[in-house]
Structure 1
Amino acid sequence: MSAYEVNFDGLVGPTHNYSGLSYGNVASESNIKQTSNPREAALQGLQKMKALHDLGFKQGLLPPQERPSIETLRALGFTGSDSQVLASAAVQEPIVLAAASSASCMWTANAATVSPSADTQDGKVHFTAANLNAKVHRSIEHETTTRILESIFKDDHYFAHHPALPAVAQFGDEGAANHTRFCGSYDQPGVEMFVYGREAFRESAPAPKKYPARQTLEACRAIARLHGLSADQVVYAQQKPETIDAGVFHNDVIAVGNGNVLFYHEEAFMNSHQVMEEIDRKLVHANFVPVMVTNKDLSVQDVVRSYLFNSQLLSHDDGYMTLVVPHECREVPAVSNYLDALVTMNTPIKQVKVFDLKQSMQNGGGPACLRLRVALNQTELSAVHQNVLMSDALYDSLVAWVEKHYRDRVSPEELADPNLLVESRTALDELTQLLKLGSIYPFQRG
């Protein structure tokens, strides 16, 4: 049976802005209070989706969430009409208003962790929405994320959905940004690597000193249990604490894997040699190919500045791979030179595709952040809600929708504008009709 990796990209929301909410994310902190362009951001994301679709890759999308989240603001004690809630929050707690207005759900690598049916005990594709409890603005996403995933992957003969883990620090979960699956082909059993920043219940365990470690080992183990993964299919790898402190807040900022290949920096993991040996030993259906970038090749600082590893690694039918990178990789000379050399090396990576994702990049999200990978066989793909799968007609409709509803500038001060809330809800209501998703937003559900 044929099987595919389908990339579900997050559609950027109408309130895309630069409020600098993500401590530990260097780009997010560096661009705080700049004026954003939500229209350009959404169109840049759609152009990447369409380009990959045109190259023959399976491509879908996940819709944005309702923002500003009036529901969140009311839960925090702001009262009155919706416009009064916004006005009060802007005066009393502007940082809370910014958190309730963030369009961060666009980075769907954090939406959930996904295990394909070839790996799970019950033969279903399993989804666990990430609790994202390290950041307030992201911790409010998981309930709507679960509803969206349940609407798109609806048939319980093929798909199983789990609620987010308990929203406590000990079970901090950042989704697929810290998860990579290795396999020979997508319909064969694979090896799932869970990457964590700290152990919650062992105080003496290594941990970063400057920036928080957002993913715990305990969360990784819980998801593996929920998804019915056996011990010989799982590898747990710890991020180097010093690398987190250098701005590598998720593993997908310093490593990317697909199929039998892991492209990573030598500073990505503690005990890298043992991690590579374990993957190689457990990956019985393919020859594991680790492609390591050394400190001599590139510094961690260049990697963080360019987002080289926050890329997509895509497999072609003839066995070679394409690396999808942000334009910033061509703006850092050492990284650009490395990419030119990479395609001549003895690895499966033979092509580099560059995309302009500046609006997302300024908030610290590159190609990898924008997509959730879901491995599906042909029967499962047919059971997916088809209206979210990219096509020429859908692309044209979404571009027209964005151009109709999105502003071309939003500053953090404009988040209190009640018209922005009305515009966002109008746009999202129309989008759910276009995608035929039903009532997934709080304002639609009453």
Structure 2
Amino acid sequence: MNVAHEVNFDGLIGPSHNYGGLSDGNLASAANSGDIANPREAALQGLEKMRMLMGHGLIQGVLPPLPRPNFDLLVSAGFRGTDAQIIEAAAKTAPRLLKAAYSASSMWTANAATVSPSADTDDGRLHLTTANLSTMLHRAQEHPDTTASLVSIFADDEKFAIHGALPMNPDFSDEGAANHVRLCGSHGEKGVELFVFGREAGESTTGFPARQTRLASESVARAHGLKSDRSVFVRQSRAAIDAGAFHNDVVSVGALDTLFFHELAFEDTDAAMEAIRKASAGLFEFQPVMVPLADVPIEDAIRAYLFNSQLLKMPGEDRLVLVAPTETEDTESTRAYCERLVDSNGPIGKVIYADVRQSMRNGGGPACLRLRVVMTEDEIDACHQGVLMDDETIDELQGVVRKTYRDRLAPSDLADPDFADECREAREALLSVLDLEGLCW
């Protein structure tokens, strides 16, 4: 068995972070639409979360923000002229499209891709499939630039396989790792990959959109060369989606042998647990931890993002650690449950609260901000080293953020043509720190 580590690649929050309210089904995004955002504070909060996890002995990576505004999107919509003319015209005639072109939603890298470690794949390579995010326009534009970033970071094709996004069709709607959980005995051992979908291909649903299809999940599993008896496909409950759980990671999170989930997470909980037990037989002893509806109402779970937390094996800890947003601590039912959870002598032994309030106000907690990539030590050495964080690099990135990011940004500010230049200059400075200048415009 190869020694392997779970490397968390967090999204570096971009300078255009704003509360545009573009995400249907995301209650926080809708509630805060039009409010004043603080991109500088948001990025600094994210970087401090990375620093905190590094301090606990974990390996931390980062993915850079994507180029914003996306002039390709605006030009495709028929806008012409200089950059300033395009911005001015879009602001007057298509302000919602301009907000989409400026969206900083790539910060939530749980949606960037689905990842299968080399221990699970038939060719022994680490596989990543970029999510097409086809349900929402502001996210559907991300995949070409996300793929370019992944190719730059995981360039060794003897160790890594990067797959482009699935077809941009509703039947292939794919939201990445936000609907995927890997369970295992230890990171370097063979595991079980759990894919959670909200609808079948061709199926119509009412209410909030079900963003992941079974066909998309099955297509990713096939492309990654996963064994069918170690792949589990489970349907997310309609009740959870309609309550605001737009991704499975709003009601479920897993690590190693443990799945932590809300009672309403899955359409058929008993069948889901049995399928995971069957797939994990002979590999590890599966440990489900279900939070009863009577203890935590689904509305509280979603508002506090109890499950949109990072569940981690930290050095020196004999049980898993849950890194939850401070909103979980501020909500009575979720705080009380976490206290009981720690005292229960179950697989989760500690809860740490992280302040990511700027991200939370736009609908993304600690789990949204990271893409988990299980890597052997050889794979870690083979990836682009500039994106692996240390305190000095975080200091440099924070210096760029303090110098180039605004501390106040309203959606109406996107109409300022000078802001496009600010965003480009900030991103170029960040890419220079990460030694990724090849991704500059």
Shorter-chain TM range is over 0.9
Identify the residue that residue 316 of structure 1 maps to in structure 2: 314
Match of 1:251 among 236, 245, 248: 248
Write the letter of the residue equivalent to 2:26.
N
Does structure 2 retain, via aligned residues, the 8 Å contact 1:183–1:191?
Answer: yes
Shift of 1:251: 0.1
The answer to whether residue 272 in structure 2 is matched with residue 275 in structure 1 is yes
1:209 deviates by 2.3
1:135 CA drift (Å): 0.4
> Distance in 1 between the 2:225 and 2:243 partners?
34
1:378 offset after TM fit, Å? 0.7
Task: Select the residue among 290, 312, 320 that pairs with 1:292.
Answer: 290
> What is residue 76 of structure 2 aligned with on the other side?
75
- Cα deviation code 1:228-275 (max 9, x no counterpart): 011111000001112101111000000000100000001000111111
CA distance in 2, matches of 1:309, 1:337: 14
Using the alignment, how far apart are the partners of 1:143 and 1:39 within structure 2? 26
Describe the SS at the equivalent of 1:439: helix
**Aligned to 2:161, what secondary structure does the other structure show?**
strand
The answer for the alignment partner of 1:127 in structure 2 is 128
Which residue of the partner structure matches residue 393 of structure 2?
A: 394
* Paired residue secondary structure (1:263): strand
> Any gaps of 5 or more consecutive residues in structure 1?
none
Aligned to 1:107: 108
Who is 2:424 aligned against? Answer: 425
Q: Deviations over 1:98-137 (max 9, x none)?
A: 0000100000000000000000000000010000010000
- Whole-angstrom CA distance in 1 between matches of 2:333 and 2:265: 19
Distance in 2 (CA, whole Å) between partners of 1:208 and 1:80 is 41
Q: Distance in 2 between matches of 1:288 and 1:402?
A: 42
Q: Are 2:43 and 1:42 aligned? A: yes
Q: In the alignment, residue 54 of structure 1 is paired with which amino acid?
A: G
* Residue correspondence of structure 1 range 47-58 to structure 2 within 5 A: 47-58=48-59
SS at 2:439 equivalent: coil
1:208 to partner: Cα distance = 4.7
Q: CA deviation at 1:319?
A: 3.9
With structure 2 as the length reference, what TM-score do the two structures score? 0.98
How many residue pairs align between the two structures?
Answer: 438
Contact 1:209–1:241 (CA under 8 A) maintained in structure 2: no
Counterpart-to-counterpart distance in 1, 2:205 and 2:7: 34
Q: Does 1:372 align with 2:371?
A: yes
> In the alignment, is residue 331 of structure 1 matched against residue 330 of structure 2?
yes
Contact preservation (8 Å) 1:208, 1:241: no
Secondary structure at the aligned position of 1:360 is classed as helix
- Show the counterpart of 1:410: 409
Contact kept in structure 2, 1:134 and 1:169, CA below 8 Å? yes
Instruction: Determine the C-alpha separation between the residues in 1 that align with 2:70 and 2:415.
Output: 12
Q: 1:199, 1:217 within 8 Å by CA — same for their partners in 2?
A: yes
Q: Which moved more, 1:37-46 or 1:386-395?
A: 386-395
Residue of structure 2 in register with 1:186 after alignment? 187
Q: For residue 133 of structure 2, what is the amino acid of its counterpart?
A: L
Q: Is the 8 A contact 1:37 1:410 kept in 2?
A: yes
Determine the structure 2 residue equivalent to 1:24: 25
Q: C-alpha distance in 2, partners of 1:300/1:393?
A: 41
Query: Structure 1 residues 274-283 or 290-299, which shifts more?
Result: 274-283
In 2, the alpha carbon distance for the partners of 1:304 and 1:431 equals: 33
Using the TM superposition, name which of 7-16 and 330-339 deviates more: 330-339
1:261-320 alpha-carbon deviations (Å, 9 max, x no partner):
000001000111111111112113211000000111111011011000000000134541
SS of corresponding position for 1:369? coil
2:215 aligns with one of 218, 225, 243:
218
Please list, as runs of the form range in 1=range in 2, the aligned pairs for 1:161-240 lying within 5 A after superposition. Answer: 161-201=162-202, 203=203, 208-240=205-237
1:137 has 2:156 as partner: no
Q: Give the root-mean-square deviation of aligned CA atoms.
A: 1.0
* Contact map agreement 1:120 1:228 (CA 8 A) in 2: yes
CA distance in 2, matches of 1:371, 1:137: 19
Measured in 2, the distance between the counterparts of 1:352 and 1:242 equals 27
Residue aligned with 2:276, SS: helix
Distance 2:402 2:304 in 1: 29
Matched, 1:5 2:6: yes
- Partner-residue secondary structure (3-state), 1:292: strand
* Contact 1:208 1:244 survives alignment (8 Å): no
Alpha-carbon shift at residue 83 of structure 1 (Å): 0.4
Find 1:241's aligned residue among 234, 238, 241: 238
- Partners of 1:98 and 1:19 in 2: CA distance: 6
Q: Deviations over 1:184-208 (max 9, x none)?
A: 111111000000000014x4xxx75
Q: Aligned match of 1:303 in 297, 301, 304? A: 301
Partner of 1:14: 15
Q: What is the one-letter code of the residue matched to 1:329?
A: T
- Between the two proteins, what is the percent identity of the paired residues? 51
TM-score, length-scaled by structure 1: 0.97
1:212 CA drift (Å) = 0.7
Q: SS at 1:381's partner residue?
A: helix
Provide the C-alpha distance between the structure 1 equivalents of 2:86 and 2:192, rounded to a whole number of angstroms. 48
Give the Cα–Cα distance (whole angstroms) in 2 for the partners of residues 434 and 306 of structure 1: 34
| Matching residue of 1:351 | 350
Q: Hey, what does 1:436 align to over in structure 2? A: 435
The whole-number CA distance in structure 2 between the counterparts of 1:106 and 1:115 is 21
**Per-residue displacement from partner, 1:373-423 (whole Å, max 9, x unpaired)?**
000011111111111111011011011010011000110000111111111
CA distance in 1, matches of 2:265, 2:108: 21
Q: What SS does the corresponding residue of 2:311 show, helix, strand or coil?
A: strand
- Aligned equivalents of 2:382 and 2:77: distance in 1? 39
Return the letter of the residue paired with 2:255.
N
